[in-house]
Amino acid sequence: ESVSLLFKLYCLAVMTLMAAAYTIALRYTRTSDKELYFSTTAVCITEVIKLFLSVGILAKETGSLGRFKASLRENVLGSPKDLLKLSVPSLVYAVQNNMAFLALSNLDAAVYQVTYQLKIPCTALCTVLMLNRTLSKLQWISVFMLCGGVTLVQWKPAQATKIVVEQNPLLGFGAIAIAVLCSGFAGVYFEKVLKSSDTSLWVRNIQMYLSGIIVTLAVVYLSDGAEIKEKGFFYGYTYYVWFVIFLASVGGLYTSVVVKYTDNIMKGFSAAAAIVLSTVASVMLFGLQITLTFALGALLVCVSIYLYGLPRQDTTSIQQGETASKERVIGV
């Protein structure tokens, strides 16, 4: 069943607002709190909250305790293959985050920002290759226009510094290439799993978040294990930090709904719009100065969203090769 343009625009608007609120709140906690919390533990707790929220929604969806238990027993406890299948995006996202950090450590911030935007066309390419979809020329133009717009919005001229930092540009570009590929692959892989069966979205979320908790716990103790043993798992947590975790949890669940009923490219557009919106909000909250490059980039983002939203062939359901055409022939 096709998804209306109005619904897609609604999803885009809600995701943009949620992502912008999360970005602003996260920036506040990372710049104003005296006792800086461990971001790795926050990510882990986010996965736990998303798991519990998904369990609660599934319980409401099934309607009775008996059906709820049967669904968990059949789709979670009794489906190790599905759990293994949904562990793939969790592992790939973990690799992506580590590669992004390695790239940022070996590239100038401006170079990193520009090259990392390649994840937008990479996602579009993965969508075409993995989901057997087609994008029109105008859609491809809008994707690359969005990439350029986000680059300009985030562009900050490099400033001279007396501190000499040893960097390996070759290692940095290699790491960011892996991060870009991981970003596109993981998102589209999850979309493919969601749309390739009639299994409940919330069952799929439970399967993915279970593996996500294991992966993030491993990252917690590999990255900050020694300090956490000394200071505690919840060191530096404030009400603002819990608010950021809440926004990340709800935003993650809503993102899965958007991927289920629209696509990953639309998710990328909402993320780009959120960057613009959060930057505008930062002018009032943090005294950020609007530049000409930002204004031009924001314009490109807005135009690209408009172009991508123009009437086109539906791309929200996975094509089944020539099945539809064969059915029409049989019908005749």
The token pair that represents 233 in the structure block: 């798992």
Q: Which of 236, 244, 264, 275 is nearest to 46 (CA)?
A: 244
pLDDT at residue 30 is higher than 70? no
Higher pLDDT, 216 or 116: 216
- What is the per-residue pLDDT across 209-230, written as a single tens digit (0 to 9) for each? 888 888 889 888 888 888 999 9
pLDDT of residue 83: 81
**Angstrom distance (rounded) from CA 251 to CA 245:** 10
pLDDT of residue 53: 92
pLDDT of residue 265: 73
pLDDT of residue 11: 67
Q: How many CB atoms lie within 10 A of CB 198?
A: 5
Averaged pLDDT, 160-183: 74
Task: Label residue 48 by pLDDT band (50, 70, 90).
Answer: very high
Higher pLDDT, 35 or 320: 35
Residue showing tokens 């789709």 = 75
Of 27-31, 53-57, 246-250, which gets the smallest average pLDDT? 27-31
Averaged pLDDT, 262-272: 69
Averaged pLDDT, 263-271: 69
Higher pLDDT, 164 or 295: 295
Averaged pLDDT, 287-305: 77
Query: Where in the chain are the domains?
Result: 5-330
- What is the per-residue pLDDT across 152-166, written as a single tens digit (0 to 9) for each? 876 765 444 444 456
pLDDT at residue 56 is higher than 80? yes
Q: Which of 64-73, 76-85, 105-114 has the highest mean pLDDT?
A: 64-73
pLDDT at residue 2 is higher than 50? no
Higher pLDDT, 216 or 150: 216
- What is the per-residue pLDDT across 128-149, written as a single tens digit (0 to 9) for each? 888 888 888 888 888 888 888 8
Q: What is the DSSP string of 236-269?
A: T--HHHHHHHHHHHHHHHHHHHHHHHS-HHHHHH
Q: Which amino acid is at 247?
A: L
Which residues in 109-213 belong to E strands, given as ranges? none
Higher pLDDT, 21 or 252: 252
pLDDT at residue 288 is higher than 70? no
Q: Which of 175, 185, 173 is nearest to 111 (CA)?
A: 173
pLDDT at residue 292 is higher than 70? yes
Task: Label residue 323 by pLDDT band (50, 70, 90).
Answer: very low
pLDDT of residue 315: 47
**Angstrom distance (rounded) from CA 211 to CA 83:** 7
Higher pLDDT, 154 or 325: 154
Averaged pLDDT, 183-196: 86
The rounded percent of the chain whose pLDDT value lies above 90 is: 5
Averaged pLDDT, 235-258: 84
Is this prediction's pTM over 0.85?
no
For 234, the 3-state DSSP assignment is coil
pLDDT of residue 49: 92
**Angstrom distance (rounded) from CA 106 to CA 169:** 6
Averaged pLDDT, 54-83: 82
